[in-house]
Chain A
Amino acid sequence: DQQVKQNSPSLSVQEGRISILNCDYTNSMFDYFLWYKKYPAEGPTFLISISSIKDKNEDGRFTVFLNKSAKHLSLHIVPSQPGDSAVYFCAASGGNAGNMLTFGGGTRLMVKP
């Protein structure tokens, strides 16, 4: 049973518009959440993170929102650029997961010029 789920396998957005990538989790013990970005034939790279004591974290064009009651987080990219086209993974850690980072299945974002 996947504890971290990204229900949209793909998302297509026009350049300049907002991209919203969603992630749901089931383990209420998770207390730290991260987003990673992956280009083809490369390893994932860290994008942004948020602790459960916050509900928002912003870094330039990227903002992560956390709704603990709904066990839901989202990544907003504004404005979207063609270079943002990649696979995005959300991940969670904490509680009884200890040193393990649990990843979602990924969402492929395509930003069209």
Chain B
Amino acid sequence: NAGVTQTPKFQVLKTGQSMTLQCAQDMNHNSMYWYRQDPGMGLRLIYYSASEGTTDKGEVPNGYNVSRLNKREFSLRLESAAPSQTSVYFCASSEYGPNEKLFFGSGTQLSVL
């Protein structure tokens, strides 16, 4: 069972470059999320998609865009990367909402130089 798959696992960018983080889940979940994890800050929600065709801002959306391509896939785009976006990014999914258990991918370590 693949669960939630994120690519890439590691990425180094220069300031101003753009990139897209890909996420796919095979559990037929309705809701998908993007979090970033920074030391001492826990996980902070960037964007979420409660269902296919909808997206909403989370706690820290500035500098990011998302696309819910279909029920399986939810991508996160950095249009112009900044050093402050150096972080570990996690994609997650749940059947309906955050009160149910979230299933997380293994993360993407992103460094912006």
Contacts and interface: CB of A to CB of B under 8 A. Distances in A.
Decide whether A and B are members of one complex. Answer: yes
A36 B50 CA distance: 21
Contact of A41 (B43, B45, B102, B107): B107
Contact of A101 (B41, B102, B106): B102
A62 B79 CA distance: 43
B41 A45 contact: no
Chain B, interface size category, equals 20 to 34
Given A99-B56, A100-B58, A105-B40, A42 B31 contact: no
A46 B107 CA distance: 16
Contacts of A6: 42
Interface in B43-71: 43-45, 48, 50, 56, 58-59
B90 A100 contact: no
B105 A43 contact: yes
B34 interface: no
A81 interface: no
Interface of A: 2, 4, 6, 9, 32, 34, 36, 41-46, 49, 89, 91, 93-94, 99-106
28 contacts: A6-B42, A34-B101, A36-B102, A43-B4, A43-B92, A43-B104, A43-B105, A43-B107, A44-B102, A44-B104, A46-B101, A46-B103, A49-B99, A91-B43, A99-B48, A99-B56, A99-B98, A100-B48, A101-B45, A102-B45, A103-B35, A103-B42, A103-B44, A104-B42, A105-B40, A105-B41, A106-B40, A106-B42
